[in-house]
Structures are given as structure tokens and as C-alpha cells.
Structure 1
Amino acid sequence: MLKTQAKFAIGQVVRHRFHPFRGVIFDVDPVFNNTEEWYNSIPAENRPAKNQPFYHLLAENETSYYTAYVSEQNLVRDDSGEPVDHPEVGELFGHLNDGKYDLGGPLH
């Protein structure tokens, strides 16, 4: 079954269901839109279905900042209220309000 309605929104802070990272969503693909090589690099037992939204995140963990591409089934809302420290967040978003960044560019 094709799921076309995204559960999360651009600007929302989320965390990975299993891996220790969190981030802010900056783009959404309604279904998988990456390379087969990337998809096949995921162990088969952990490989998500392609017919669901996939999210582009400005992600962070304890040691680094990066971008991540994550299936909807592997994300949960981050209720910590903590800002995402990724250096590009301020370039894309405004203030953090209730777990979601305002759209509209640099912080002033």
C-alpha cells in the first residue's frame, strides 16, 4: 500500500527510532528517491519499504553533524525541546517553537 501523507513536517525535530541521532527535517520525498546502491547498503533485515515518505535531516549525534536520509518508519518525534545544534539549521530556519522550527531563514 502506498502511503502518500507524510507524518512529519519540514522544520520538525525528530530522532531515529533505533540509532542515537536526532535532527530537523529540511525536505521530504513522498517515496524512496535515493540510489539503489544506498538502499542495498542497508542490511536486508533492517531495510525499510520504499513506498513510504523518506526525510532529509540536518542530523547530529554526540560526535558529529551530517545530513541523513531516513524512512518514516524509523523516525519518532523528539520531545526533548532541545534545539538541534547542526550548523546549517540557522541558515534554513527561524526559531524553535514546540518541537518545530519556523520556516524563513536565518536567525536574527
Structure 2
Amino acid sequence: MVKARFYIGQLIEHNLFGYRGVVVGVDSCFNHTDSWYESVAKSRPPKDKPWYHVLVDESDYVTYVAERNLRTSLEDRQIDHPLLGHYFDRFDGSRYLPRQGLH
């Protein structure tokens, strides 16, 4: 089993596109369709490494990103996304704390 580098509630940044976000789900390996991978994952990240479900800051977009395309955000400011309250109870100043039952 591959250990994930990021965790639910962690603030991240995308290496290529520069957007900030928060992790809301972690898959130990790619867990989407082959057709999605072929059409969206243009850089062909490895399928056998962790992938993350991410709420994108200042949008209503939820994305699916390979671990190699993410880094820890250097900013601790909160993100703006309409689904934050669905996943998290609060922000502790550096990370979001998941709602009960979503860990």
C-alpha cells in the first residue's frame, strides 16, 4: 500500500496550474475511468500512486489530481468554496477539520 503524502483538510497548491485548494478525499491509486484519464490527465501521472479530490479555491470546482502535481500550500489563509461546510466543521488556522463521520 502506498502512503499518501497529503491528508483530508490540508491546503495544497497545484504545481502546474497554480491554484490553491483543500483535500477532501484521498485514493491510494487512480480510481476513475480510463477514458477520463486519457482525455484529462495529459501529463500521464502514474495510476499506482495516490490521487486526491480537491475543492478549488475561489470556484465551485472539485478536481481530481495526482499526487505528483501537488505541493503543500505556503499560505494558511482559508479557501473560498461553496462545499466547505459539507466536508469540514472549521478551520484551525492551518488546516480544515473534517465533519464527524467523514474522516
Q: One fold, TM greater than 0.5?
A: yes
Segments of structure 2 that go 5 or more residues without pairing to the other structure are: none
Displacement after TM superposition at 1:98 (Å): 4.4
The percentage of aligned residue pairs carrying the same residue is: 37
Segments of structure 1 that go 5 or more residues without pairing to the other structure are: none
After TM superposition, the structure 1 = structure 2 runs for residues 64-83 of structure 1, keeping only pairs within 5 Å, are 64-83=59-78
After TM superposition, the structure 1 = structure 2 runs for residues 80-99 of structure 1, keeping only pairs within 5 Å, are 80-99=75-94
- 1:25 matched to which residue of 2? 23
TM-score of the two chains, using structure 1 as the length reference? 0.83
**Counterparts of 1:40 and 1:56 in 2: how far apart (Å)?**
18
Matching of residue 53 in structure 1 with residue 50 in structure 2: yes
TM-score of the two chains, using structure 2 as the length reference? 0.87
Count of aligned pairs? 99
Contact 2:22-2:54 within 8 A present in 1 as well: yes
- The runs of at least 4 aligned residues of structure 1 exceeding 6 Å deviation read none
Range that drifts further, 26-35 or 95-104? 95-104
**Counterparts of 2:94 and 2:17 in 1: how far apart (Å)?**
20
Three-state SS of the structure 1 residue aligned to 2:96 is: strand
Contact 1:55-1:72 within 8 A present in 2 as well: yes
Three-state SS of the structure 1 residue aligned to 2:61 is: strand
Displacement after TM superposition at 1:99 (Å): 2.6
Contact 1:14-1:25 within 8 A present in 2 as well: yes
Three-state SS of the structure 2 residue aligned to 1:73 is: helix
Displacement after TM superposition at 1:104 (Å): 1.9
